[in-house]
Amino acid sequence: MTSAEQERREADLLDRVVHSFDDCPDPRLRQLMTALVRHLHGFVREVRLTEEEWTKAIEFLTAAGHITDDRRQEFILLSDVLGLSMQTIAVNNEAHGNATEATVFGPFFVANSPEIPIGGDSSGGAPGEPCWVEGTVTDTEGQPVAGARIEVWEADDDGLYDVQYGDDRIAARAHLFTDEGGRYSFWAITPTPYPIPHDGPVGQLLAAVGRSPMRASHLHFMVTAEGLRTLVTHIFVRGDELLGSDTVFGVKESLVKDFRRHAPGPTPDGRAMDRAWSQVTFDIVLAPPLS
Ligand code: BEZ
Ligand code: FE
C-alpha cells in the first residue's frame, strides 16, 4: 500500500515527464512518447519494480543489442515472443471481408529468391518430404489476380532455414507468379516444427519462464499484386500438436490447412513419386489497398 504522499510524488513525476513533450512539433511523435511513458511508469508502479530488477532489465536489453547484427535481430524476436508483433499485425490488418489473414513475418525472409515456374520446385534440394502446394489468388470480389508475385520460404526437415547454415546456400525459398486465371502450384517440402533462435537472451527468458521456443509447422508466403494489399502470412499443418502453443502466437484458425499425405505414386503434375509426399490447397484472397 502506498501512502497518499507517495502516490502524489509518483503521479507528479509522471506528469512532469509527460509535459516534457509538450513542445514536440510532430503530434504523432508526441502521442507515441507520452503514451509510452504513461504505460512504462504504470508498469513500474504496478509491480513496484526493484532497482535490481531494473538493472537486470537493462542488462537483458544490452545483451539483446550485443547479439543483434545484420543476420540476427533479437529485438524482433523479443517482440515476437511477447506477442507484440502479432498485436501490431492485428491492429494494422483489420479483417476485410473474406481476405486471407496475415501473420508474423519472421526474420528469415531473403529478397531476390530464385524464380520458379508454375509447377516448379522451391526446395532447392533442402531435405524434407515433398509437398505439392496449389491454389488461386483472387481479390475480395472473387476476381482472379493474374501475375501476383508469390514468395515462399520455410525451414528444412532439420528445422533450419538456409541462412542459418552460414554457407551461402539458397534452399527452401523461391518466388513464382500466378497465371492468367490467378492459379499457382509448386513443390515445397512438408513443413515440420522448429525452434526460433534460442541461444541468446530471448531464449534465456523463455527458459526462465518455462516456455518452449518451438514454432508450429508452417510455410511462409508473401503475396504482392499491383493495386492490392500485400499479404504476409503462413499456412499451418492441421493436426500439428504445437498449433496451440506456437511461441510467437502466429497461428490463426483460418490458416490451418489439411496437408493430405500420400504413399509413393502418381502426383498432380503427372510424376511417379518414389517416396511419400503430401498435398495442400491454399486459396489466397488479397484485400484492397490501405487508403
Ligand atoms: C519464423 O517463422 O520464421 C519466425 C517467426 C518469428 C520468430 C522467429 C522465426
Ligand atoms: Fe518460419
Q: Whose CA is nearest to atom 7 of ligand 1?
A: 106
CA-220 nearest atom, ligand 1: 2
Tell me what pLDDT residue 97 has: 83
Cα within 13 Å of Cα(6), Cβ side: 5
How far apart, in whole angstroms, are the C-alpha atoms of residue 128 and residue 79? 30
CB-based contacts of 105, cutoff 8 Å, min separation 6: 85, 222, 232
Q: Which of 217, 198, 220 is nearest to 209 (CA)?
A: 198
For residue 198 and ligand 1, the question of a CB distance below 6 A is answered with: no
Confidence at residue 24, expressed as pLDDT on a 0 to 100 scale: 98
| Residue ranges, the chain, pLDDT below 70 | 1
Task: Identify the pLDDT of residue 290.
Answer: 78
CB 159 within 8 A of CB 192: yes
Q: pTM of the full predicted structure? A: 0.92
Which atom of ligand 1 has the smallest separation from the CA of 77?
7
Residue nearest to atom 5 of ligand 1 (CA): 106
pLDDT of residue 1: 58
Check if 102 has its Cβ closer than 6 Å to any atom of ligand 1: no
The answer, yes or no, to whether any atom of ligand 1 lies below 6 A from the CB of 154, is: no
Of 105, 215, 217, 255, best ligand 1 pocket probe by most atoms within 8 Å of the beta carbon: 215
Is 3.40.1390.10 the CATH classification of the domain at 78-286?
A: no
pLDDT digits (tens, 9 = 90+) for 210-225: 999 999 999 999 999 9
